[in-house]
Structure 1
Amino acid sequence: MRRHLNVPVAFLLALPLVAWGAPVEVPQASQPLLKEIGTAPSAERIEADIRTLVGFGTRHTLSETESSTRGIGAARRWIKTEFERISAECGGCLEVRYVSDVVSGETRVPDPVEITSVIAIQRGTDDPDRVVMMSGDIDSRVSDVMDATSDSPGANDNASGVAGTLEAARVLSRHRFGGTIVYAALAGEEQGLFGGKILAGHAQQEGWRLEAVLNNDMIGNIAGINGVVDNTTARVFAEGTRFTETPEEARARRFTGGEVDSPSRNLARYIDRMADRYVPNLDVMMIYRLDRFGRGGHHRPFNDIGAPAVRIMETNEHYDRQHQDLRTEDGIVYGDTIDGVDFDYAAKLTALNAVTLAGLASAPPPPADVGISGAVTADTTLKWQRPTGSQARGLAGYRIYWRLTTEPQWSRSIYVGDVDEYTLENVVIDNYFFGVAAVGHDGAESPVVFPGAAGSFGGYDAGPSTP
């Protein structure tokens, strides 16, 4: 099916973000469940989890694994037990497992070490192979990255991310979603992003269609080394051009655009909109960069395989509290201790993750094979692939978005119904960027998909749909 829209350009320029003049019934814009989730995470529970993780003394990747009270072995066993407790409360709704591999011969892992992460899988009811993920890092470190014995509390970096992931599991496991949610506590980040690399490989082997990876690395500090105290903003780092882009895809992008419309960038825009709609007193600062300048995080291994992945974190870092031996010098206190964590802020960023995961998992899958045409004409036509079978359950239709090429966020849209092609008449293709999002009957939307390989979220399974 295809539709056309013919309106004056002057009117188009004045359009709000919501749909207008559509010849079909528009699904509701706001989701009551997401409003509930946006305030559900508990600062008290997050504090308790951070205190427990700090209590293991050190969680260095090369630290003690046999002790029941100290080291990374005790920490990961406690995390697994906590996920299992959450699962028991929801009637066994989580599949809890270790994902591990042996690493050796690396600069920061010279001898063989089993890198073991903990994941909990909340299977989707309609599209279980479509996966959205939240992660935090188990391990901690001090000044010497190879020091596996000194106390390394890692309260903010990154017990806060793990605690947020556990709390998101508590909140979201009370509900059911069409897509699958994975909660991951990843190991080996400080030694070389090994937990993420291992899990990314596991995801490929399991046939996961990764729609989004939300890496949470330091979500608890509000007082920056720059003197700014701010509990109302969060940063989302998102890479531009896909790392896996081929020369042929790069050539096409040169002529069609897409440098700022990778799936990771449009995932960041989605997160920004979810904050505005559902998380009180929180604004997202989108950063058009893979990570902080010259630094790295556990979303990168997923970007490396072409998956949409971003880093969510505090806006103002305090470097005296990162990767430091516990000490006081010249009146300055160093070390990542629990007094540097604001638990209410950590709960707010956890809520941002939770509403994003719920929104993504509730929505239909992003449209696949999005194409666009309209050169040397007054009109712009978009086409896309509609899913079938169980993947289409809950699908109401599609919304077309467009924006000026210099705008950071999608500013114009129209809901076009359950079609797979649509023409915007008198909207010149040269003047805007365009995209398409899938919309559910309850109003849940997928991220916007930019046309072509530059913006693709990966498409659908080649095999039959899950019944």
Structure 2
Amino acid sequence: MTKLTVLAVALGMSFAAAAQGQSITYKDQADLHDIAAAVSAERIEQDITKLVSFGTRHTLSETESDTRGIGAARRWIKAEFDKISAACGGCLEVYYQSEVISGEARIPDATEVVSVIAVQRGKIDPSRYVIMSGDIDSRVTDVMDFESDAPGANDNASGVAGTLEAARVLSQYEFAGTIVYAALAGEEQGLFGGRIMAKQAQQDGWRIKAVLNNDMIGNTEGINGVIDNTTARIFAEGTRMDETADDARRRRFTGGEVDSPSRNLARYIDWMADRYIENLDTMVIYRLDRFARGGHHRPFNDLGFPGVRIMETNENYNRQHQDLRVEDGIAYGDTLDGVDFDYAAKLTALNAVSLAGMAWAPSPPAQVQISGAVSADTTLKWQAPSAAEADHVAGYRVYWRHTDAPNWEFSRDVGNVTEYTLENIVIDNYFFGVASISKDGYESPVVFPGPAGAFGE
């Protein structure tokens, strides 16, 4: 046997050991198909139209009027959440969350920034949270102009309407974990609604496993001339913002740069699009947000919570942050005619099935560890489920992929254990992770070992 033959045989054995017939498998869930189908483009159009009717929703705008300004808008949003709650027998806890902000560049005078929160408590693990959010406020060219009409049809009445619609659909079900629907204020003035909510959640001990920030989910005609209703973007940061110096040193030697909890959350949502949303391909983008820009998931990321931004693929800058006008035959402004309501419904459905899948699944595994240096085998360990979830967990699934692969390639169901060894799969050549599986087949996001990939306790 020649040296080349020996090498080929060895490589073949290596790849066979990696796969061993274990391509990615999952249990198709009929309820998730039903949830996707239940999302209504007509209701989303009605909600966006209503939000636009308030003229402006600028953070510094009118609060006393019943028909104009951010005060009227947030009262209407709360009333809608209250209606949804009444329809499900009081299943939502609906409240305002606020803080007075002053002395900021975009909020110089004391202003109460008020968000609207609706909480659907989980039945098994209520202290575990997944969150969907959209931004209430709107603006024109001058970020300090709170008097001019700022319809904000796409930016971001679309995100708020999607959040309301997801609440309507998901409130018809009960979940293991808690789902939160948030209409956040003050985004254009400095992400204040998200800052307030993230800080309060941390103080209250919320175990947040996912924040799905929806900011502009209704435009399909880009400034680049592309018209596309079949793709969407998911922005997800890399290394954790709260990473310590010791964590960074460990990551340098063990990896994890592309496996933050936010990145694996994005992969989970991407899988949901493939499985449950017809004619939608999502792009997972390895960046916190669009280049040098930001959104309301960032305050959660800043405190170590997994969070992503979901939005349209092709933006139209003539319709963002613009005074209403026509120049050289071009209409500027964020008006209703720039929103594709069917597309907004499609992205809302993606949020809804992702929230439901995570809320029905057990909590992502905690304290995931890995070992196998200078060995033919790789061993993963993780913490046993909490007492509350012990009867909910059927077992675990171990994942691995080549280090240059964007998505998980191989998996193996390993049973209801807290340690598993992949024999003859060399730790140096792959990235690894673990997901929790419920008794009815719902699966958590994959957790990369160590602090780089941890979703928290």
Per the normalisation by structure 1, the TM-score is 0.94
The gaps in structure 1 that reach 5 residues or longer are 1-6, 20-27, 460-467
C-alpha displacement at 1:388, in angstroms?
Answer: 2.5
**Which residue number corresponds to residue 3 of structure 1?**
none
Deviations 1:237-278 (A, max 9, x none): 000000000000000000000000000000000000011011
* Contact 1:383–1:422 (Cα < 8 Å) also in 2: yes
C-alpha displacement at 1:16, in angstroms?
Answer: 4.8
C-alpha displacement at 1:198, in angstroms?
Answer: 0.2
**Which residue number corresponds to residue 436 of structure 2?**
438
Is the partner of 1:447 in helix, strand or coil?
Answer: coil
Q: Provide the rounded CA distance (Å) in 2 between the counterparts of 1:203 and 1:66.
A: 29
Would you say 1:103 and 2:101 are equivalent positions? yes
C-alpha displacement at 1:392, in angstroms?
Answer: 2.6
Would you say 1:225 and 2:231 are equivalent positions? no
The gaps in structure 2 that reach 5 residues or longer are 1-11
Residue type of the partner of 1:9? S
**Which residue number corresponds to residue 139 of structure 1?**
137
Deviations 1:304-354 (A, max 9, x none): 000000000000000000000000001111000000000000000000000
The aligned length equals: 445
Deviations 1:396-448 (A, max 9, x none): 00000000000000010000010000000100000000000000111110000
* Contact 1:364–1:392 (Cα < 8 Å) also in 2: no
Q: Percent identity?
A: 73
**Which residue number corresponds to residue 187 of structure 1?**
185
Q: Provide the rounded CA distance (Å) in 2 between the counterparts of 1:417 and 1:171.
A: 33
**Which residue number corresponds to residue 159 of structure 1?**
157
Residue type of the partner of 1:268? A
Q: Provide the rounded CA distance (Å) in 1 between the counterparts of 2:317 and 2:83.
A: 35
Aligned 1:276-295 pairs, distance under 5 A? 276-295=274-293
Q: Which runs of 4+ in 1 moved over 6 A?
A: none
Deviations 1:153-195 (A, max 9, x none): 0000000000000000000000000000000000000000000
Is the partner of 2:367 in helix, strand or coil?
Answer: strand
Would you say 1:90 and 2:88 are equivalent positions? yes
Among residues 70, 73, 79, which one is paired with 2:71 in the alignment?
73
Is the partner of 2:128 in helix, strand or coil?
Answer: strand
* Contact 1:141–1:154 (Cα < 8 Å) also in 2: yes
Residue type of the partner of 2:208? L
Is the partner of 2:39 in helix, strand or coil?
Answer: coil
Aligned 1:45-444 pairs, distance under 5 A? 45-444=43-442
Is the partner of 1:191 in helix, strand or coil?
Answer: coil
Residue type of the partner of 2:23? L
**Which residue number corresponds to residue 30 of structure 1?**
28
Which is bigger in relative contact order (C-alpha 8 A, separation at least 6)?
1
Is the partner of 2:310 in helix, strand or coil?
Answer: strand
C-alpha displacement at 1:13, in angstroms?
Answer: 4.2
Would you say 1:11 and 2:16 are equivalent positions? yes
* Contact 1:398–1:439 (Cα < 8 Å) also in 2: yes
* Contact 1:8–1:426 (Cα < 8 Å) also in 2: no
Deviations 1:110-151 (A, max 9, x none): 000000000000000000010000000000000000000000
Q: CA RMSD in A?
A: 1.0
* Contact 2:395–2:415 (Cα < 8 Å) also in 1: yes
Is the partner of 1:385 in helix, strand or coil?
Answer: coil
Q: Provide the rounded CA distance (Å) in 1 between the counterparts of 2:133 and 2:23.
A: 31
Q: Provide the rounded CA distance (Å) in 1 between the counterparts of 2:377 and 2:322.
A: 58
Q: Provide the rounded CA distance (Å) in 2 between the counterparts of 1:166 and 1:367.
A: 30
Q: Provide the rounded CA distance (Å) in 1 between the counterparts of 2:118 and 2:221.
A: 32
